[in-house]
Amino acid sequence: MNDVIIIGSGCAGLTAAIYAGRANLKPIVIDGFEPGGQLSLTTMVENFPGFPDGILGPDLIENMRKQAERFGTEFKAGAIAEVDLSKRPFKIATAKDSFETRALIIASGASARMIGLDAERKLIGYGVSTCATCDGYFFRGKEIAVVGGGDTAMEEATFLSKFASRVNLVHRRSEFRASKIMVDRARANDKIRFLTPFAVDEISDVTKNGVENVTLRNTQTNETSILPVEGVFIAIGHEPNTKAFRGQLDMDENGYLITHDGSQTNVPGVFAAGDVQDHHYRQAVTAAGSGCMAAIDAEKFLGALKGV
Ligand code: NAP
* Closest atom of ligand 1 relative to the 151 alpha carbon: 25
Q: Are residues 225 and 246 in the same domain?
A: no
For ligand 1, atom 35, the nearest C-alpha belongs to 151
Quote the distance between the C-alpha of residue 3 and its chain's center. 27
Q: Are residues 97 and 127 in the same domain?
A: no
Q: Are residues 278 and 297 in the same domain?
A: yes
User: In which residue ranges of the chain is pLDDT below 70?
Assistant: 308
Name the domain boundary from 211, 234, 257. 234
What's residue 38's pLDDT?
A: 87
What's residue 197's pLDDT?
A: 98
Please check whether residue 16 is in contact with residue 27, taking contact to mean a CB–CB distance below 8 angstroms.
Answer: yes
What's residue 46's pLDDT?
A: 86
- Answer yes or no: is the C-beta of 173 below 6 A from any ligand 1 atom: yes
For residues 178 and 182, give the distance between their C-alpha atoms in angstroms, rounded to a whole number. Answer: 7
Name the domain boundary from 208, 234, 260. 234
Q: Are residues 244 and 227 in the same domain?
A: no
- Answer yes or no: is the C-beta of 185 below 6 A from any ligand 1 atom: no
Q: Are residues 163 and 89 in the same domain?
A: no
This prediction has a pTM of: 0.81
For ligand 1, atom 1, the nearest C-alpha belongs to 150
Q: Are residues 36 and 101 in the same domain?
A: yes
For residues 284 and 96, give the distance between their C-alpha atoms in angstroms, rounded to a whole number. Answer: 30
Question: Which residues partner with 183 through β-bridges?
Answer: none
Q: Are residues 20 and 51 in the same domain?
A: yes
Strands 44-45 and 80-84 come out as: unpaired
What's residue 244's pLDDT?
A: 96
For residues 14 and 294, give the distance between their C-alpha atoms in angstroms, rounded to a whole number. Answer: 11
Q: Are residues 86 and 229 in the same domain?
A: no
What's residue 298's pLDDT?
A: 98
- DSSP per residue, 114-129: ----HHHHHTBTTTEE
Per the structure, the count of domains in the chain is 2
Q: Are residues 225 and 258 in the same domain?
A: no
Q: Are residues 212 and 263 in the same domain?
A: no
- Sequence-distant contacts of 60-69: CB under 8 A, at least 24 apart: 60/11, 60/284, 61/9, 61/10, 61/11, 61/14, 61/36, 61/37, 64/11, 64/14, 64/15, 64/18, 65/9, 65/14, 65/36, 67/14, 67/18, 68/14, 68/17, 68/18, 68/21, 68/27, 68/29
* CATH number of the domain bearing residue 54: 3.50.50.60
Q: Are residues 150 and 62 in the same domain?
A: no
> How far apart are the CA of 123 and the centre of ligand 1, in A?
22
178: containing domain: 118-234
What's residue 308's pLDDT?
A: 63
What's residue 269's pLDDT?
A: 98
Q: Are residues 156 and 295 in the same domain?
A: no
Please check whether residue 46 is in contact with residue 54, taking contact to mean a CB–CB distance below 8 angstroms.
Answer: yes
Contacts of 143 (CB under 8 A, 6+ apart): 164, 165, 166, 168, 228, 229, 230
For ligand 1, atom 36, the nearest C-alpha belongs to 151
| Residues recognised as catalytic | 131, 134-135
For residues 48 and 66, give the distance between their C-alpha atoms in angstroms, rounded to a whole number. Answer: 18
- DSSP per residue, 133-154: HHHGGGGTT-EEEEE-SSHHHH
Name the domain boundary from 177, 211, 234. 234
For ligand 1, atom 31, the nearest C-alpha belongs to 151
* Closest atom of ligand 1 relative to the 238 alpha carbon: 26
* Closest atom of ligand 1 relative to the 171 alpha carbon: 21
